[in-house]
Structure 1
């Protein structure tokens, strides 16, 4: 039998809109009813999650590069996910962005409330978030977050002061790595050199920074950090503070992600599935919580330029005989997705072209 869920008045959730403050309450022994999300958070372990050695893509021998290109293609086709190693981003920078993000969550609540989202297009957003479950009930998530658009225009919370400098450098470094990966992905897809840069307008590519704070939860099987979802964009980069919690779905089974220190977890996102005309899949993933340690994750979502129209690549449509997805302006897709709170709904499903269309 599932543990009892302690009742909690809705007004208390509003007054304590950040989960961090709630989790630090010395009297919290149960998950409040507004957070009730029964789930089986168990995940399998796999030694088969692909590893991509970025150094061999950039400066390896021809044989090494060919091998890594095959690994990258297999990762995008079969897993929609890979572990990126030897990416060249300094370990000190990875540590600094985690620390600066943690400092944000430790700010007084009034500083964080300045960025409570009023619309999906707000360039900086902060809060905890909620979803509508299959029973049409609103469920609060067991996490706090801050998000900001960092490219082509840079936005950042005013505090903590060191976040701005660290985030600007992290954005620049990850943008360079993502662009190189996308060029190699284009090569794997048989597209002409420069095709990805041109059609996606990568000089003005969209980047979204997101930091998530998942405090210890008294009943991890009765709450969720983030339910199963896919990401907008082309490639999502994720690093964390060493506390596990990200799970990916592969062949209908959930897998825990284990990554070497200072590696980057990368998943292929919705717009890469669209551009590849379905060859590469946007993978469902979720964040589960635990009752022992706080988990911090930092995400950089890398996408096309805001005004780029993303659609299946022409040469691939020619091969397949038809396009499987409707075209859509990138930023419209992003803002539609950010404003969508329906559990289990996918923007991808909305723009897939059915046979009878």
Structure 2
């Protein structure tokens, strides 16, 4: 298969993501001592270099619980969501040992024999437990495979987890509960700056039955980092996405038309605004493009928790904000339908689904 050219590398060229048959995981392939170049099915020509910035906002979550600092803290969160769409969360209250335990348990899963993992291979977008990889098809009908093995689990409102390793279920249950509470407090902080009543936000987004997904991504060393990619540029569905990693950088975010490395200190959480928060705030918060690049020296593992509204929630711009702005800038859509659309055909007519939700002036 021919390599995809640089002209095809922007997000709008990606037409769909489809799971591929789990024959041999990427980890086994990458562990091969004979792997000197990227196999053709992974070919994705790209420029993995990015700028380094010390301007990515850092938010001290503990300030939210201090009456003297809360006002400034929620202002800083809202500003970060509006200007960057990303921030680094510190003093978030989740024990470092729990975060490390989740990472260790997840690595145990990726180290399981291929036969153990194969029982969870993805058969459909709605499978509550799935692992494997994705083939990505562009609008020009070129297909490539991501340089990544993944594990994805639906953990709320129903909790799903593989049987092995057993420790994963124990630590993930607590981690999902803590991150869900954290996400809800961040949503409430943003809503407070917008003068939206807590009861209104909870009812519209149906946060008691919020949809939460856990995803672990394993990126082995790649012999040609400019010829493969972990995850192409994209935005996330949901409200807030949380990410921690094993100390190896690889997440890059787009800001003012340039790519920046999103580096974060130990025990912090990288937080990004997701699509439904942009829609709900009528465009005030920004869900920005980000991607995962690979390197030739060290394996990278990221732990992601995607926090959304309820699957049943129909998310459009908040009514008080529409009244304030004079009109809605986005169309409403049931969250479950939004997620399925993004997973099964995420690029219709070459446009990201978030772009399609925007109501433009005629």
User: What is the TM-score with the length of structure 1 in the denominator?
Assistant: 0.93
* 1:219-238 correspondence runs (5 A): 219-238=224-243
* 1:205-284 correspondence runs (5 A): 205-284=210-289
**Partner residue of 2:135?**
130
SS at match of 1:291: coil
The reply on whether 1:108 has 2:113 as its aligned counterpart is yes
Q: CA 1:196–1:341 in 2, change beyond 3 Å: closer, same or farther?
A: closer
**Partner residue of 2:174?**
169
SS at match of 1:206: strand
SS at match of 2:310: coil
SS at match of 2:342: helix
8 Å Cα contact 2:153-2:213 kept in structure 1 = yes
8 Å Cα contact 2:241-2:274 kept in structure 1 = yes
Give structure 2 stretches of 5+ with no counterpart.
4-19
**Partner residue of 1:142?**
147
8 Å Cα contact 1:17-1:128 kept in structure 2 = no
**Partner residue of 1:10?**
none
Q: CA 1:15–1:83 in 2, change beyond 3 Å: closer, same or farther?
A: closer
d(CA) in 2 for partners of 1:345, 1:141: 20
For the aligned residue pairs, the C-alpha RMSD in angstroms reads 1.6
8 Å Cα contact 1:276-1:313 kept in structure 2 = yes
* 1:275-294 correspondence runs (5 A): 275-294=280-299
SS at match of 2:177: helix
d(CA) in 2 for partners of 1:134, 1:339: 14
8 Å Cα contact 1:312-1:327 kept in structure 2 = yes
The reply on whether 1:42 has 2:76 as its aligned counterpart is no
**Partner residue of 2:322?**
317
**Partner residue of 2:30?**
23
**Partner residue of 2:157?**
152
Deviations 1:9-28 (A, max 9, x none): xxxx9675411111011111
RCO (CA 8 Å, sep 6+): is it higher in 1 or 2? 2
The reply on whether 1:55 has 2:65 as its aligned counterpart is no
SS at match of 1:212: strand
d(CA) in 2 for partners of 1:124, 1:297: 18
Aligned residues: 343
**Partner residue of 1:8?**
none
Greater share of strand = 2
Q: 1:198 aligns with which of 203, 214, 230?
A: 203
Give structure 1 stretches of 5+ with no counterpart.
4-12
Deviations 1:68-122 (A, max 9, x none): 1221111000000000000000000000111111111111111111111111111
**Partner residue of 1:87?**
92
**Partner residue of 1:120?**
125
Deviations 1:129-153 (A, max 9, x none): 1211354211100000010100001
Deviations 1:264-298 (A, max 9, x none): 00000000000011111111100000011110000
d(CA) in 2 for partners of 1:193, 1:125: 35
SS at match of 1:303: strand
User: What is the TM-score with the length of structure 2 in the denominator?
Assistant: 0.92
8 Å Cα contact 1:131-1:342 kept in structure 2 = no
Q: Which moved more, 1:83-92 or 1:334-343?
A: 334-343
The reply on whether 1:185 has 2:178 as its aligned counterpart is no
8 Å Cα contact 2:21-2:121 kept in structure 1 = no
